[in-house]
Amino acid sequence: MLLHYATGLGIVVAGGVHLFTVFLTGPYVQNLAFSSVMMVYRNILLAVTLELLLVFVDYHALNGVRIILIEFHQGTTWERGVSWVLAVAGVLLLIYGTRTILIANALA
Amino acid sequence: MAESLSREIKRALTGWFYPVHYNLERWAYALQRISGIAVTAYFLAHIVETGNVVGGLSVWSVPSQDFASAIWSATFHFLENPFFDTGLIVIGFMLSYHTINGIRLTLAEFGLLQGKPSRPDFPYEPKSFSKAQRAIFWLSVLFAAATAVYALNVFFGFRI
């Protein structure tokens, strides 16, 4: 559970930077235009922040779902099953998100 | 399995999401759980959505700028309508609430802002949910409402 709190605090910081770049650096629609988005991915610091945010949210969200599901029903088989399914889902999401960041960084 | 699945689901839904007749801490808990599920659903959609900035699910090597740009523009125009904008306002509310209430929970986890243990007297207010914690809870509701108003302005410019 310590990781749940640690990633939560990490999200406050990395998510803050993410929301700042989208909402507070200019008009929203303009910031989400293709060229503006590419400028974010080209900046290595912002790209690394996005990757960190991805890792933190991925863990925090899926662990949260895991907590809800193992509170829903108790049992060794259920708990193991839920943990494994969510761990695999988390890794797949992480791979897809990281692919986006790496390719966007190369593309930009 | 001692309980049937339908009974388990009913118990979970009423136990988690129906805090009526319980104290404020239970409301904070229900809202934290609902907002967590909502933001998780948004996160999944957001990973798929942002994947389109390089051209979508099938792209696993660096594509041409024109291809990626065309896919991203199409995605953005598909999502730019009052339905999804309203969804984002709700997500903004949920995210802000979850953040500030989550900070309250983190402080509580490490024993900060806990009330002093004392003899339980009428009206049996939980000592764990101290004045400072109540203040942070209401701050989280206020911050969430402020975020929703800000988002309303960003997406609709108060032109409803």
Asked if A99 lies within 8 A of B60 by C-beta distance, the reply is yes
pLDDT for residue A88 is more than 90: yes
| Average pLDDT score over residue span B13-23 | 85
Q: What is the pLDDT of residue A67?
A: 95
Confidence of residue B88 (pLDDT cuts 50, 70, 90): very high
Residue pLDDT, tens place only, B111-155: 888 878 888 888 887 777 888 999 999 999 999 999 999 999 999
Find the CB nearest A61 among B40, B99, B155.
Answer: B40
Residue pLDDT, tens place only, A8-44: 999 999 999 999 999 999 888 899 999 999 999 999 9
Asked if A61 lies within 8 A of B62 by C-beta distance, the reply is no
Number of other residues whose CB lies within 10 A of the CB of residue B41 = 14
* Calpha distance B80→A51 (Å, rounded): 25
CA-based nearest residue in chain B for residue A54: B47
Alpha helices in B52-81 (DSSP H): 65-79
Confidence of residue B159 (pLDDT cuts 50, 70, 90): low
- pLDDT > 70: percent of chain A: 100
pLDDT for residue B1 is more than 70: no
Residue pLDDT, tens place only, B91-123: 999 999 999 999 999 999 998 888 788 888 888
Q: What is the pLDDT of residue B12?
A: 84
Count of domains observed in chain A: 1
User: How far are the Cα atoms of A11, A108, B101 from residue B59, in angstroms, in the given order?
Assistant: 28, 15, 39
In this structure, are residues B130 and B144 in contact, taking their beta carbons and an 8 Å threshold? no
Q: What is the pLDDT of residue B2?
A: 61
Residue pLDDT, tens place only, B28-58: 999 999 999 999 999 999 999 999 999 999 9
Asked if A97 lies within 8 A of B47 by C-beta distance, the reply is yes
A90: domain CATH number? 1.20.1300
Q: What is the ipTM of this complex?
A: 0.95
Asked if B12 lies within 8 A of A72 by C-beta distance, the reply is yes
pLDDT for residue B69 is more than 90: yes
Confidence of residue B9 (pLDDT cuts 50, 70, 90): confident
Q: What is the pLDDT of residue B4?
A: 84
What is the 8-class DSSP label of residue A24? S
> In B, what residues contact A, Cβ < 8 A?
1, 8, 12, 16, 33, 36-37, 39-40, 43-44, 47, 50-51, 53-54, 57, 59-63, 65, 68-69, 72-73, 76, 80, 99, 102-103, 105-106, 109, 154-155
Nearest to A9, CA basis, from B126, B124, B99 = B99
Q: How far is B118 from chain A (nearest CA, A)?
A: 28
pLDDT for residue B8 is more than 90: no
Range of the domain at A48: 2-107
Residue with the two structure tokens 């939980």: B126
Asked if A107 lies within 8 A of B8 by C-beta distance, the reply is no
